[in-house]
Amino acid sequence: MKQLVIAIDGYSSCGKSTTAKAVAAALHYAYVDTGAMYRAVTLYLLEHHIPFDDLARVEQALHTLQISFRRNRRTGRNEVFLDGVNREDDIRQMVISNSVSEVSVIPMVRHAMVAQQQRMGRKRGVVMDGRDIGTTVFPDAEVKVFMTAEVVVRAQRRQEELALNGEQVALDDIIENLRKRDHLDSTRTESPLRRAADAVLLDTTHLVIEEQVDFVLERVSAALFAPEVHKN
């Protein structure tokens, strides 16, 4: 059976990562959380006190830091490692959320991450979630889904996620953060957040994860069994 690239793009806290992980598990595909990669870069810059506008030092950092994913056998989830150290919980903190969009608009950061993502998906059989997978990283992806949801619902989901990691954040602060990120992601020059012309829209406001996963898997089935188009 042919191997596909499944691109799941959309706004923060729509359920992209949870859905993508479940889809990857169901298909026995690799899963790449591209947002975690930008979060890891943000964490590195903050911890090394590198200003985001100091492009020379940012470029040096990109040549130095190493980002990888490893499967946690106990939890079954892929976790991000920065320079060989598990930083999965650290990159999910609100302080990272407040800065990651500013880092991801830096052209050299995007170029470096996109190149790495394309290497990861070169053999196909991969599910990637992010903001520019279907438009920039893999415009030839066989399945493209663009996820959205009402901002208050997204904020509530994000608040619950933070609480699970022991971080209590006011809902209004999270809403403000999401709106700021939406604006920065949608208006940046490099690979802005937008729905690909051939992406299917999925509004998750009133859907549970199982429904989101089924929605994507239905599109995968359609792509797998679609008749081949032969060009002369």
Binding annotation for ATP:
10-18
Binding-site residue positions: 10-18
> Could you tell me which residues are beta bridge partners of residue 82?
67, 85
User: CA nearest 161: which of 14, 37, 40, 10?
Assistant: 14
Q: Show the DSSP H helices in the chain as ranges.
A: 16-27, 34-47, 55-64, 94-97, 100-104, 107-120, 151-164, 171-187, 209-224
Q: Is 15 left (phi over 0), alpha (psi -120 to 50) or beta?
A: left
- 204-218 burial, b at 16+ Cβ within 10 Å, e below that, comes to beebeeeebbebbbe
The dihedrals phi and psi of 169, each to the nearest 5 degrees, come to -130, 135
Q: Cβ distance 177 to 167 under 8 Å? A: no
- 150-170 burial, b at 16+ Cβ within 10 Å, e below that, comes to ebeebbbbbbeebeeeeeebe
